[in-house]
């Protein structure tokens, strides 16, 4: 066995909803623990996939370059086709980047807490993980601390924006200033899995920085705002110096045709995205009003989830249990006192807020 994987623990995926319902004897369960889209998927996706299935058999390999989807994405974000690497979700993209650019003895710099896959994949390659804690009060990413953590062993810097699980957002201006301080041979990867949900400013994405810095990669996914988690489609935009290394180690037929069709049709339906983003922002506001009223500590979120602190690990667990028994599953275990709550549909937010309010009144 590879030495680097001996101490690793596998990512524990979500228990299938049907199994969890059966285990707990629930008739209704809303999963708000994985930041999936509570508004589903554009109805156009299902139609296009059905039509594709009717018109094709499955004996031939898919288009290994995802040519049509590639062109659609490239047009949409205004980048050259060749600068894209399309992966089986960002999960695959994170694995590819780590495999391509990390060897034993290297290090990566991350903010903590953040998405666990950067560290997991880094460890898999034998790299050292340098975690820089976020501001405990505001959840803000400590960009100065991240610059200070860079040394001669550092190969990759991961910046999740908005960050999972804190929900906090770093402005493009701040990222530009940060990039100016990072040596050009270190690759900075900006994970924009939740970028669609940012409503505090107009120019939210770091994509324009691709023209200013050669050592930047931007990552996007169809799993969150586009509601396509089951189809597994994510992509990386990266400059000429780096793109071929990642393409070379990608599996030749990584995306099946249904995923390619689904993602392309989902991308075309921007009306659905606008609807989802607006509904999410309204529901997010309703949570903030409640949390402020109750005096609970949380981070200002620009995403489709909120990270909320409780008095003790026991209290966090108690609240999660009460919600679960009422049919609402949230994410526990990311930090002892904290719960990460995916922002659901309005009626579910109201019900959850009522339950939490009652609990807080009675304690």
Site for ligand PLP, rule CB under 6 A:
35, 89-91, 115, 160, 164, 191, 193, 221, 223, 229, 234
SS (H, E, C) 92-137: HHHHHHHHHHCCCCCEEEEEECCCCHHHHHHHHCCCEEEEEECCCC
Cα–Cα distance, 298 to 294 (Å, whole number)? 11
Minimum Å gap between C-beta 25 and ligand PLP is 29
In the bound state with ligand PLP, the residue whose beta carbon lies nearer, of 193 and 207, is 193
- Minimal distance in Å, beta carbon 182 to ligand PLP? 20
- In the complex, least distance from residue 193 CB atom to ligand PLP, rounded to whole angstroms: 4
Q: Write down the least CB distance from residue 55 to ligand PLP, Å.
A: 27
Residue number, 167 or 179, with CB nearest to ligand PLP: 167
Nearest residue by C-beta to ligand PLP?
A: 89
97 burial via Cβ count (<10 Å: 0-12, 13-18, 19+): buried
β-partners of residue 307 are 340
Shortest Cβ 258–ligand PLP spacing (Å)? 16
Nearest approach, Cβ of 196 to ligand PLP (angstroms)? 13
Q: Tell me how far, at minimum, the Cβ of 90 lies from ligand PLP, in Å.
A: 4
- 221 or 260: whose CB is closer to ligand PLP? 221
Beta bridge partners of 131: 110
- 160 or 265: whose CB is closer to ligand PLP? 160
Among 147, 145, 110, residue whose Cα is nearest residue 131 = 110
Report angle CA 180, 185, 189 to the nearest 5 degrees: 70
Nearer to ligand PLP among residue 267 and residue 356 (C-beta): 267
The residue among 235 and 356 lying less far from ligand PLP, judged by its C-beta, is 235
Please give the distance of CA 75 from its chain centroid, rounded to a whole number: 23
Closer CB to ligand PLP, 232 or 290, in the complex: 232
């Amino acid at each position: 066995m590879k030495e680097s994987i001996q101490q690793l623990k596998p990512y524990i995926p979500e228990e299938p909803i049907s199994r969890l319902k059966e285990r707990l004897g629930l008739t209704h369960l809303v999963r708000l623990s994985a930041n999936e889209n509570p508004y589903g998927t554009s109805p156009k996706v299902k139609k296009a996939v059905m039509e594709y299935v009717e018109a094709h058999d499955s004996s031939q390999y898919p288009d290994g370059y995802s040519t049509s989807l590639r062109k659609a994405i490239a047009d949409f974000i205004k980048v050259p086709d060749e600068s894209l690497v399309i992966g089986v979700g960002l999960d695959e993209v994170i694995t590819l980047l780590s495999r391509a650019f990390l060897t034993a003895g290297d290090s990566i710099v991350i903010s903590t807490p953040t998405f666990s896959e950067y560290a997991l994949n880094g460890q898999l390659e034998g790299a050292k993980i340098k975690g820089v804690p976020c501001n405990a009060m505001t959840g803000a990413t400590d960009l100065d601390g991240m610059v200070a953590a860079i040394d001669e062993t550092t190969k990759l810097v991961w910046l999740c924006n908005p960050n999972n699980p804190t929900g906090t957002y770093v402005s493009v201006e701040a990222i530009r200033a940060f990039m100016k301080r990072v040596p050009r041979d270190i690759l900075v990867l900006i994970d924009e899995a939740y970028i669609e949900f940012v409503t505090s400013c107009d120019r939210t994405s770091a994509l324009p920085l691709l023209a200013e810095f050669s050592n930047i990669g931007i990552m996007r996914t169809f799993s969150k705002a586009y509601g396509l988690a089951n189809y597994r489609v994510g992509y990386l935009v990266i400059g000429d110096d780096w793109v071929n290394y990642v393409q070379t180690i990608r599996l030749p037929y990584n995306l099946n045709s249904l995923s390619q069709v689904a993602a392309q049709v989902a991308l075309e339906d921007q009306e659905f995205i606008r609807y989802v983003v607006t509904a999410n922002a309204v529901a997010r506001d309703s949570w903030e009003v409640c949390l402020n009223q109750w005096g609970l500590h949380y981070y200002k979120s620009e995403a489709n989830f909120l990270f909320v602190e409780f008095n003790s690990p026991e209290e966090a667990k108690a609240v999660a249990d009460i919600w679960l028994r009422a049919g609402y599953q949230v994410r526990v275990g990311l930090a002892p006192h904290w719960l990460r709550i995916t922002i659901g549909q309005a009626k579910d937010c109201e019900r959850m807020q009522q339950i939490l309010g009652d609990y807080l009144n009675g304690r």
